[in-house]
Copies of this chain bind each other. A is one copy, B any other.
Amino acid sequence: RLLRTAAGVREVARQLGRKPIKLQVKSVMIVTKARDNTLVTLTREVAHWLMKTPRYGSDLGVNVYVDEKLQKSKRFDAEGLIKSEPRFASMLKYWTPDLCWTSPEKFDLVLTLGGDGTVLFTSWLFQRVVPPILSFSLGSLGFMTNFPFDMYKEHLDKVLIEGMRINMRMRFTCTVYRDSKGQMEEAEQFEVLNELVIDRGPSPYVSNLELYGDDELLTVIQADGCIFSTPTGSTAYSLSAGGSLVHPDIPAILLTPICPHTLSFRPMLLTDSMHLRISVPRSSRATAYCAFDGKGRIELKQGDYVILQASQYPFPTVLSSGTEWFESIARTLRWNSRGAQQKAW
């Protein structure tokens, strides 16, 4: 029950980040782009290494779930793997979006191979409880892909043997309500890890959105749109629109307007205990469009609204180091790196 409240989630989150926790990892899920040939080859390599490397006193390793799309892939060659060691037949399994939805507890650890987009996709797969996520980067490290792939064996050995420090990243639960002849009906619901964006879409008219916090009207937003970002998303779209950088441990909802029509509409941070409702007024001459982590564009008609609140299902990522976040922004944004000339003489 404690876990169901924002405060509880936050307190647990803080404790998890402090010291490594040891989990009995028996099944590892691997997420990657099944269409990318290079990634499929690497997925095979990691899966093979995980299954064959002895763990926990056994002479074999851990179970591996790969994307069901790879089941018949020649490049992945599941048959070849099993031929090399018949016992792999019971260890190599396949995940589907449906399985992630119904049985997330089957996965003790999720590896992602790719970029930050693959991490967002993983968040989308797990709409409820999320297993710990460890993200490898193939090229340069990203904001969320903090483990270099070329050292995957060392990193995985360390995590499986010594344990891992976890960063419980806040997500938002966004629920769309539609006006059906005056009755509000619940429609789509999404967990977002980066941000909810509501904008004017292709309409030439500026969007006019009413923002309610805990059922009180806070303001009317006249802008091209508005971004509701998690701290994790503060390095993404919100930053482009002028928002501040926010450490992922801070429990806050970032409200960042896109091209606002008033000069005084500064970005704002609200408490994560607030329930927000963003509504298209019935009198508005234009509709609005929602995007959830950049995906799932949905039209909001006059009278419709979205409810946004801190999720009870955070997104646990494995930390590469205690200053991981600072390193990622210095590296990726060149935050405060030197460029300008001295001015004094």
A244 touches B247 (CB 8 A): no
Cβ of A221 within 8 Å of any chain B Cβ, yes or no, is: yes
Q: A70 → chain B, closest Cβ, in Å?
A: 19
In chain A, positions 181-237 with a C-beta closer than 8 Å to chain B are 194, 201-202, 204-206, 213-214, 216, 218-224, 231, 235-237
Q: A109 → chain B, closest Cβ, in Å?
A: 21
A332 touches B336 (CB 8 A): no
Residue in B118, B143, B291, B336 whose CB lies within 8 Å of A260: B336
A264 touches B336 (CB 8 A): yes
Cβ of A239 within 8 Å of any chain B Cβ, yes or no, is: yes
Cβ of A120 within 8 Å of any chain B Cβ, yes or no, is: yes
B244 touches A243 (CB 8 A): yes
Q: A279 → chain B, closest Cβ, in Å?
A: 16
Q: A194 → chain B, closest Cβ, in Å?
A: 8
Cβ of A269 within 8 Å of any chain B Cβ, yes or no, is: yes
Q: A207 → chain B, closest Cβ, in Å?
A: 12
A107 to B322, CA, bound (A): 43
A270 touches B247 (CB 8 A): yes
A262 to B205, CA, bound (A): 27
List, in ascending order, chain B residues with CB within 8 A of A117's CB: 342-345
Cβ of A67 within 8 Å of any chain B Cβ, yes or no, is: no
In chain A, positions 144-198 with a C-beta closer than 8 Å to chain B are 194
Contact size range, A: 35 or more
Cβ of A69 within 8 Å of any chain B Cβ, yes or no, is: no
Cβ of A295 within 8 Å of any chain B Cβ, yes or no, is: yes
Residue in B219, B241, B245, B343 whose CB lies within 8 Å of A330: B219
A206 to B339, CA, bound (A): 14
A334 touches B344 (CB 8 A): no
A116 to B343, CA, bound (A): 8
In chain A, positions 287-345 with a C-beta closer than 8 Å to chain B are 289, 291, 294-295, 297, 322-323, 326, 330, 332-345
- Contact mask A20-56 → B, CB, 8 Å, 1/0? 0000000000000000000000000000000000000
Residue in B246, B259, B297 whose CB lies within 8 Å of A204: B297
The residue on B at minimum CB distance from A219 is B336
B343 touches A206 (CB 8 A): yes
Cβ of A249 within 8 Å of any chain B Cβ, yes or no, is: yes
The residue on B at minimum CB distance from A222 is B338
Cβ of A142 within 8 Å of any chain B Cβ, yes or no, is: yes
B264 touches A339 (CB 8 A): yes
A115 touches B344 (CB 8 A): no
Residue in B218, B231, B339, B342 whose CB lies within 8 Å of A115: B342
Pick 18 A–B contacts, CB within 8 A, sort by A: A14-B273, A213-B323, A218-B326, A237-B343, A239-B263, A245-B268, A247-B268, A247-B271, A249-B271, A250-B251, A250-B270, A262-B338, A263-B264, A263-B333, A264-B335, A294-B343, A294-B344, A295-B345
Task: Across the A-B interface, give the 8 residue pairs with the lowest CB-CB distance, nearest first.
Answer: A117-B345, A240-B259, A263-B264, A265-B336, A245-B268, A244-B267, A261-B340, A249-B271
Q: Which residues of A contact B (CB under 8 A)?
A: 7, 11, 14, 115-118, 120-121, 142-143, 194, 201-202, 204-206, 213-214, 216, 218-224, 231, 235-237, 239-247, 249-252, 254, 258-271, 273, 289, 291, 294-295, 297, 322-323, 326, 330, 332-345
